[in-house]
């Protein structure tokens, strides 16, 4: 039986290699990056005010912006056998080039502050409320902790070290953004925390955490809900992405971004996204924002990743579209998910700011664990 299996395995591997070679493409230099302009959102899926609406077909949420994305097989071939400029060095060198520092929490929650905890995890302080985005404190962004993408930079603190959280917002269900260990521990040690999740994820949260159902709020795009006993509003806003957590659950749940609106300050969290026209709508409805956390990494090979992630030039356009006064670059420097140099995202961001004659302090990056006070 084993002898019969080996030829089948080898044939399958050979077919995958051939398909990968046929479908893979040339590496796109950052010098040639352009603004990704996907097809416009279907007119029939807008509300009376012209805002794009999430919609389903066949029980799955749809994203027409990804209809021309090449086969994922070509991407995986590129990852395993294509160009890799990541050049992640030893821990000693990383300590010099990308330090991790312990967060400097204060006793009082600020009115406008962002602390980067690695990848897309940000502690945003808005009008005295603490909101944590896409927490991942696990060693791997994976279904298991013995395989899958591993951190090359540790989290700057433990969950037990976090200040009292008013809310956690989740952008979508990919493993590097919805980490079961992290949300379960937060729900256990901070039972007062409210969780804001995309449509379709409430039942998952109820099954995998001890968070009370009344503390789990499931929203679709443009829905809003105030934090308990507060005038701080949480709104779910669009993004250009997709969802998958198991073999056959593609887009059974929604994806998006989040706006936190206080009476004095506001914050926007981009989560994980490609570029599209939705960001101008967010800026028109909720902008200008006091501050924003905008993804800038995981974009190579760009011919594939542009359908779901942004490069720093597109991130700068998002910053402008949503009308952010000050933005923090996130979604880099933590997990090796793609093949650009590990320090390229902040370097490219600075370059795009200079090319557009914008102040460098308008859109910045920090070391993991550091804060920006607005």
**Position 35 pLDDT exceeds 80:** yes
How far, in Å, CA of 109 to CA of 129, rounded?
6
SS (H, E, C) the chain: CHHHHHHHHHHHHHHHHHHHHHHCCCCCCHHHCCCCCCCCCCHHHECCCCCECCCEECCEECCHHHCCCCCHHHHHHHHHHCCCCCCCCCHHHHHHHCCECCCCCCCCCCCEEEEECCCCCEEEEECCEEEEECCCCCCECCCCCCCCCEECCCCCCCHHHCCCCCEEECCCCCCCCCCHHHHHHHHHHCCCCEEEEECCCHHHHHHHCCCCHHHEEEECCCCEEECCCCCCEEEEECCECCCCCCCCCCCCCCCCEEEEECCCCEEEECCCCECCCHHHHHHHHHCCECEEEEECCCCCCHHHHCCCCCCHHHHHHHHHHCCECCEEEECCCCECCCCCCCCHHHHHHHHHHHHCCCCHHHEECCCECCEEEC
Within 10 angstroms of residue 91's Cβ, the number of other Cβ atoms is 10
pLDDT of residue 18: 44
pLDDT of residue 80: 61
The verdict on residue 246 lying in a domain is yes
Q: What is the dihedral of CA 123, 124, 128, 130, to 10 degrees?
A: -40
Residue whose tokens read 């409320």? 129
The verdict on residue 248 lying in a domain is yes
Whether pTM > 0.85 for this model: the answer is yes
How many domains is the chain partitioned into structurally? Answer: 1
pLDDT of residue 73: 65
Could you tell me the residue range of the domain that residue 352 belongs to? 91-373
* Each residue's pLDDT tens digit, 58-104: 999 999 999 888 876 666 666 666 688 999 999 999 999 999 999 99
> pLDDT over 70 for what percent of the chain?
90
The verdict on residue 334 lying in a domain is yes
**Position 202 pLDDT exceeds 60:** yes
In the chain, the N- to C-terminal Cα span, in Å, equals 65
Over residues 276-287, mean pLDDT: 98
Over residues 153-168, mean pLDDT: 98
**Position 350 pLDDT exceeds 90:** yes
Q: Report cis status (omega within 30 of 0) of the bond before 301.
A: yes
The verdict on residue 166 lying in a domain is yes
Contact by Cβ (8 Å): 194, 167: yes
More confident residue, 53 or 20: 53
pLDDT of residue 27: 77
Over residues 126-148, mean pLDDT: 95
The verdict on residue 43 lying in a domain is no
The verdict on residue 337 lying in a domain is yes
b/e 185-196 (16+ beta carbons within 10 angstroms → b): bbbeebeebbbb
CATH number at residue 145: 3.60.15.10
Over residues 317-325, mean pLDDT: 98
pLDDT classification of 157: cutoffs 50, 70, 90: very high
The verdict on residue 42 lying in a domain is no
* Each residue's pLDDT tens digit, 223-240: 999 999 999 999 999 999
Over residues 197-214, mean pLDDT: 98
How far, in Å, CA of 308 to CA of 239, rounded?
9
The verdict on residue 366 lying in a domain is yes
């Amino acid at each position: 039986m084993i002898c019969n299996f080996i030829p089948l395995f080898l044939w399958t591997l050979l077919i995958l290699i051939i398909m990968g070679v046929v479908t893979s493409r040339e590496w796109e230099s950052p010098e040639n990056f352009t603004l990704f302009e996907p097809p416009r959102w279907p007119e029939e899926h807008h509300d009376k005010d012209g805002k794009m609406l999430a919609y389903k077909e066949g029980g799955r949420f749809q994203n027409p912006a990804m209809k021309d994305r090449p086969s994922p097989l070509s991407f995986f071939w590129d990852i395993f056998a294509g160009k890799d400029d990541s050049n992640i060095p030893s821990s000693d060198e990383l300590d010099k080039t990308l330090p991790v520092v312990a967060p400097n929490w204060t006793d009082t929650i600020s009115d406008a502050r962002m602390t980067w905890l690695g990848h897309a995890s940000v502690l945003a302080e808005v009008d005295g409320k603490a909101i944590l985005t896409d927490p991942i404190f696990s060693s791997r962004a994976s279904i298991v902790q013995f395989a899958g993408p591993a951190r090359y930079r540790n989290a700057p603190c433990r969950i037990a070290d976090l200040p009292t959280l008013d809310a956690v917002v989740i952008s979508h269900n990919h493993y590097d953004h919805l980490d079961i260990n992290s949300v379960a521990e937060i729900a256990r040690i901070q039972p007062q925390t409210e969780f804001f999740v995309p449509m379709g994820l409430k039942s998952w949260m109820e099954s995998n955490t001890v968070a009370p159902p009344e503390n789990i709020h499931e929203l679709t795009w443009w829905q809003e809900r105030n934090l308990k006993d507060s005038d701080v509003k949480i709104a779910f806003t669009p993004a250009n992405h997709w969802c998958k957590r198991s073999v056959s659950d593609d887009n059974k749940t929604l994806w998006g971004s989040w706006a936190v609106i206080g009476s004095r300050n506001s914050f926007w969290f981009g989560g994980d996204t490609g570029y599209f026209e939705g960001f101008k709508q967010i800026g028109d409805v909720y902008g200008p924002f006091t501050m924003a956390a905008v993804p800038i990494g995981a974009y190579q090979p760009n011919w594939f990743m542009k359908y779901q992630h942004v490069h720093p030039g597109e991130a700068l356009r998002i910053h402008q579209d949503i009308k952010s006064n000050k933005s923090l670059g996130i979604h880099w420097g933590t997990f090796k998910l793609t093949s650009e140099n590990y320090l390229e995202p902040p370097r490219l961001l600075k370059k795009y700011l200079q090319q557009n004659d914008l102040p460098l302090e308008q859109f910045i990056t920090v070391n993991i664990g550091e804060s920006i006070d607005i």
